[in-house]
Amino acid sequence: MRVHEDGPDDKEREAEEAEASPDLMPLSPPPTAAVAGQRLVVGYALTKKKVKSFLQPKLLSLARKKSIHFVSIDETRPLSEQGPFDIILHKLTDKEWQQVLEVVLEHQSKNFDSIKQRDYREEHPEVTVLDPPNAIQHLHNRQSMLQEVADLNLSNVYGEVCTPRQLVIMKDPLSIPSAVAKAGLTLPLVAKPLVVDGTSKSHELSLAYVETSLSMLDPPLVLQEFVNHGGILFKVYVVGETIRVVRRFSLPDVNIYDLENNDGIFRFPRVSCATNNAEDAEVDPSIAELPPKPLLEKLGRELRRRLGLRLFNFDMIREHGRKDRYYVIDINYFPGYGKMPGYEHIFIDFLLSLVQNKYKRRLSGS
């Protein structure tokens, strides 16, 4: 896993592009679809918002140069009548679409035990589905999404990675104060809707300062201990084996004064949005310092393997005053890559590496 902290030098990348053009072929060409002797067709099933933020002109132009074609999938028509696709990129939550993909994956995992399946495989040779619907589903629940981080128990010379202590409340808001006391959670608590389903409502969070205010919350939700972190969070993007980290503004620390002077619930909409980039802001260096590369590499690699996902990001905070204690508080499938510096090159290289690996496997007969 490679961590990039700085954006790529565009001029340098353009020079590389020029080098890869047919008139001036370098001796060791970078991975291209041509290596596998085919053009690469990437079908996508994404929301309009995602198409706009992800399929930006620079990505499309770079893709064209590498013989990669992005084709919109019509989810209302059978997949077998479209494509064929080499890769399917998707982030749709409806059941019908998930079933379509499950059928594709099921056919791929089975032996050729019927003519129908063989025909299907011949029509759809080795389509790579990014990523399996059941693995994505795991991130739609704020309790299950952090389980792998907790199980990982990552602690080494570079630091310790934990999850905040949390409690799930399914119903009955009146029972929350006693449930919190019983679980021994310390206030303030962040209340997050249990299910993340792509709606803005699932990003409406609240901060509860005192126990009595807890019964004003609206289950089902996750109650998570608030961790002071100096108001900066680290967004760690994963694209296959590559990871990149950026800083974002976050919620400010809560102090004793806040705790004594707030008796209600403080509700806030989505915090982590495009407008709160903290890369250029003047921040205390001890707060702004990025987490150590080897720690991010280990965490990214382990999460990728354990979650069975190749396209995701996670939000990480460092406990204020503790140089080496980190908390993962959120994991998102196919996030806003358009906000990740240099995502175009990273993404195209990733798509090409998928084909190259497939090609190598085909050559070795495995």
Ligand X SMILES: Nc1ncnc2c1ncn2[C@@H]1O[C@H](COP(=O)(O)OP(=O)(O)O)[C@@H](O)[C@H]1O
Ligand Y SMILES: O=P(O)(O)O[C@@H]1[C@@H](OP(=O)(O)O)[C@H](OP(=O)(O)O)[C@H](O)[C@H](OP(=O)(O)O)[C@H]1OP(=O)(O)O
Binding interface with ligand X (CB under 6 A): 164, 190, 192, 196, 203, 205, 224, 226-227, 229, 233, 250-251, 270-272, 315, 317, 329-330
Tokens of 88: 């399917």
Tokens of 137: 């589903």
Pair 216, 210: CB distance under 8 Å: no
Tokens of 27: 């001796």
Look-up: residue for tokens 């799930």? 168
Q: Is 330 near ligand Y (CB under 6 A)?
A: yes
Q: Which of the ranges 205-213, 215-223, 282-290, 329-337 carries the binding residues for ligand Y, by CB under 6 A?
A: 329-337
Beta-carbon count within 10 A of 76 CB: 7
Q: Is 272 near ligand Y (CB under 6 A)?
A: yes
Q: Is 336 near ligand Y (CB under 6 A)?
A: yes
Taking the complex as a whole, the smallest distance from the CB of residue 347 to ligand Y amounts, in Å, to 14
Q: Choose the contact partner of 83 out of Mg ion, ligand Y, ligand X, none; CB within 5 to 8 A by kind.
A: none
Q: Pick from 164, 170, 144: which is nearest to 224 by CA?
A: 164
> Contact residues for Mg ion (CB under 5 A)?
272, 315, 330, 332
Q: Pairing between strand 159-162 and 325-333?
A: parallel
Q: Is 30 near ligand Y (CB under 6 A)?
A: no
Question: Which residues are part of a known binding site for 1D-myo-inositol 1,3,4-trisphosphate?
Answer: 50, 91, 203, 235, 332, 336
In the bound state with ligand X, the residue whose beta carbon lies nearer, of 249 and 359, is: 249
In the bound state with ligand X, the residue whose beta carbon lies nearer, of 124 and 192, is: 192
In the bound state with ligand Y, the residue whose beta carbon lies nearer, of 31 and 164, is: 164
**φ and ψ at residue 279, rounded to 5 degrees:** -65, -40
Q: Is 196 near ligand Y (CB under 6 A)?
A: yes
Q: Where are the alpha helices (DSSP H) in the chain?
A: 10-19, 48-54, 57-65, 95-109, 115-123, 133-137, 147-152, 176-183, 256-261, 285-288, 293-307, 343-364
Position of minimal CB gap to Mg ion: 330
Beta bridge partners of 245: 236
CA distance 206 to 223: 10
Q: Is 32 near ligand Y (CB under 6 A)?
A: no
Q: In a 3-state reduction of DSSP, which class is residue 313?
A: strand
Q: Please list every residue from 75 through 94 that binds ligand Y, using CB under 6 A.
A: 91
Question: Which residues are part of a known binding site?
Answer: 50, 91, 142, 192, 203, 224-235, 250, 315, 330, 332, 336
CA distance 14 to 166: 47
Q: In a 3-state reduction of DSSP, which class is residue 44?
A: strand
In the bound state with Mg ion, the residue whose beta carbon lies nearer, of 197 and 279, is: 197
Q: Is 276 near ligand Y (CB under 6 A)?
A: no
In the bound state with Mg ion, the residue whose beta carbon lies nearer, of 133 and 335, is: 335
Taking the complex as a whole, the smallest distance from the CB of residue 143 to ligand X amounts, in Å, to 12
- Cα angle 245, 324, 309 (rounded to 5 degrees) comes to 40
In the bound state with ligand X, the residue whose beta carbon lies nearer, of 46 and 227, is: 227
Q: Is 270 near ligand Y (CB under 6 A)?
A: yes
Among 339, 342, 353, 359, binds ligand Y (CB under 6 A): 339
Q: What region, left, alpha or beta, does residue 93 occupy, with left being phi > 0 and alpha being psi -120 to 50 degrees?
A: alpha
